[in-house]
Structure 1
Amino acid sequence: MSTPIVVMGACGRMGRVIADLARDDEAFSLVGLVDSRTDALTMTGDCATGGTLAEVLPRCPGAVVIDFTAPAVSLADARLAAEKGTPLVIGTTGFSPEQLQELGELAKRTPIFWSSNMSVGVNVLMKILPELTKALGDKYDIEMVELHHNRKKDSPSGTALMLGECLAEARDWKLDDVRCSARDGIIGERPKAQIGIQAIRGGDVVGVHTIYFMGPGERIEVTHQAHSRETFAQGALRAAAWLAGREPSRLYRMQDIF
């Protein structure tokens, strides 16, 4: 039996890729497309279309909603999903701690899945990096550079922050206490308790994250490169299939699928 899918932000970069993959995969049925640019929505058979989730959702019973939009929009959709008991997969980045806390509360009322990066490779790195950090020890400084396209709105990227948190936890630090995302002028020596995360923006780069472990006499670099948005879209669809039929509990993450 196929999983019915409603795509939020269907005219956006990620929304278009998710919708196309869902159309072509027999494991899914594309039943709804939502975007404020309603004139750009492409009709597909019985697929419901509209400018808001509230408009489309009643016409898509039993569907799982996939949302890669903006924090305020995703949070509003989560509130509606909680009210209707609709499963929701969110790939939006840039949430504030307060917004994430509210998402966690809403997840107690309806199944909600959130990840700032849906790729399998990045989530495998989440398991490997803490082991590497602990094995190298505190003589190795940790820095990260993330590179994205020139239309990305948040900085550092959600993926960089996610990776940074797992690195900080491996050192028994809190990322907010040790993160440095800007250096300018006479700043003095680099503190030992610091993780630098620098952002580069340009062109149409999908996403590159490089973590540097710099120690006495050597340097280790770990890089993940996303070649296309399909890797994130496939992960979102995999999450949607997994989420269908789950009970409300907490904010589900990619590690739950693994």
Structure 2
Amino acid sequence: MSAMKIAVAGASGRMGKMLVETILAADDASLVGALDVAQSPAIGSDPGVTLGKETGVKIESDLALGLAQAEYFIDFTRPEGTLHHLEYCAQHGIKMIIGTTGFDDAGKAAIAKAAEKTAIVFAPNMSVGVNVTMKLLEMAAKSFSHGYDIEIVEAHHRHKVDAPSGTALKMGEVIADAIGRDLNEVGVFAREGVTGERDPSSIGFATIRGGDIVGDHTVLFAGIGERVEITHKSSSRVTYAHGSLRAARFLADKKTGLYDMYDVLGLR
């Protein structure tokens, strides 16, 4: 089996560098392209330079140059950038692994439309552990649907621009679906002042931003006399990178279609 030919978006960023390092260390993957915004000082440099390696690849801002040899494209950037990349990949049959968060409904619809032309794994969190946690939350929610208040607390580094995190929102969706609620109707994303008593049907969210926290998520099921907390903590972005490669391997025999990490991990 030939190595997967992979290009990386945001190659000079924190997640981009981790993806590059993980791809270079994998026996079944080859880094063939790297992209970044035109104003990045890294344009024209080798993405392996910070790792002490020469990859023979240059970081480009032009999609045609950066994706010329790519079969797969891993994107953990911003919604506006990912949607721009999406159109090109759909036109050229490049498979996408999208870990970008913060899409609105129109953005999600665009991804679904593009999946009619190429194969896409789209998930708010590529970590294997997080997705197993999602499955545990689905199971727990069915038992804690009555008499327990549900709160989701997430913490990330100071540079994260969207809140709550895509992972926290997905956790809320998984829980709401499991107990027959609509998160759009029961989600509470801010509390201040005299709020009145808690609506027992609500699912609350709390957001923490600070330092270099990679990503912590806790779901609290609080009843009378007991509470259950299900927590996942990321100490390194490498978990997202390894999950992204698993997603790429999953897409190897797929030509079109929209998938998530439940599909990749067989958690359906």
Q: Write the distance in 2 (CA, Å) between the matches of 1:52 and 1:234.
A: 26
> Normalised by the size of structure 2, how large is the TM-score?
0.91
| SS class of match (2:259) | coil
List structure 1 segments (4+ residues) > 6 angstroms apart after TM superposition.
Answer: none
State the match for 1:255 in structure 2. 262
* 1:53 equivalent in alignment to 2:57: no
Kindly tell me the number of residue pairs found equivalent between the two proteins.
255
State the match for 1:5 in structure 2. 6
Equivalent residue letter for 2:22: L
Q: Write the distance in 2 (CA, Å) between the matches of 1:6 and 1:171.
A: 40
Q: Write the distance in 1 (CA, Å) between the matches of 2:42 and 2:228.
A: 50
1:60-139 → structure 2 map (5 Å cutoff): 60-61=69-70, 63-139=71-147
1:89-128 Cα deviation digits (max 9, x unpaired): 1110000011001110110111111111011111112212
Contact 1:109 1:248 in 2 (8 A): yes
Equivalent residue letter for 2:35: V
State the match for 2:188 in structure 1. 180
The alpha carbon displacement at 1:136 in A equals: 2.6
| C-alpha distance 13-39 of structure 1, shift in aligned 2 (>3 A) | closer
| C-alpha distance 12-194 of structure 1, shift in aligned 2 (>3 A) | same
Contact 2:46 2:58 in 1 (8 A): no
Q: Write the distance in 2 (CA, Å) between the matches of 1:221 and 1:202.
A: 22
Contact 1:38 1:51 in 2 (8 A): no
117-126 vs 33-42, which moves further:
33-42
Where structure 1 has 5 or more consecutive residues not aligned to the other structure, the ranges are: none
Equivalent residue letter for 1:256: D
Equivalent residue letter for 2:263: D
Contact 2:42 2:59 in 1 (8 A): no
State the match for 2:250 in structure 1. 242
| C-alpha distance 14-142 of structure 1, shift in aligned 2 (>3 A) | same
Equivalent residue letter for 2:80: A
Equivalent residue letter for 1:166: V
* 1:42 equivalent in alignment to 2:46: yes
| C-alpha distance 38-64 of structure 1, shift in aligned 2 (>3 A) | farther
> Normalised by the size of structure 1, how large is the TM-score?
0.95
Where structure 2 has 5 or more consecutive residues not aligned to the other structure, the ranges are: 48-53
Which of 154, 164, 179 aligns to 2:162? It is 154
| C-alpha distance 38-110 of structure 1, shift in aligned 2 (>3 A) | farther
The alpha carbon displacement at 1:130 in A equals: 1.8
State the match for 1:207 in structure 2. 215
* 1:230 equivalent in alignment to 2:238: yes
1:52-78 Cα deviation digits (max 9, x unpaired): 3233222x15x2111111001101111
| C-alpha distance 155-135 of structure 1, shift in aligned 2 (>3 A) | same
Identical-residue share of aligned pairs (%): 42
Q: Write the distance in 2 (CA, Å) between the matches of 1:179 and 1:31.
A: 42
| SS class of match (1:192) | coil
State the match for 1:171 in structure 2. 179
Q: Write the distance in 1 (CA, Å) between the matches of 2:144 and 2:197.
A: 21
Contact 2:46 2:55 in 1 (8 A): no
Equivalent residue letter for 1:97: D
The alpha carbon displacement at 1:245 in A equals: 3.3
| SS class of match (2:11) | coil
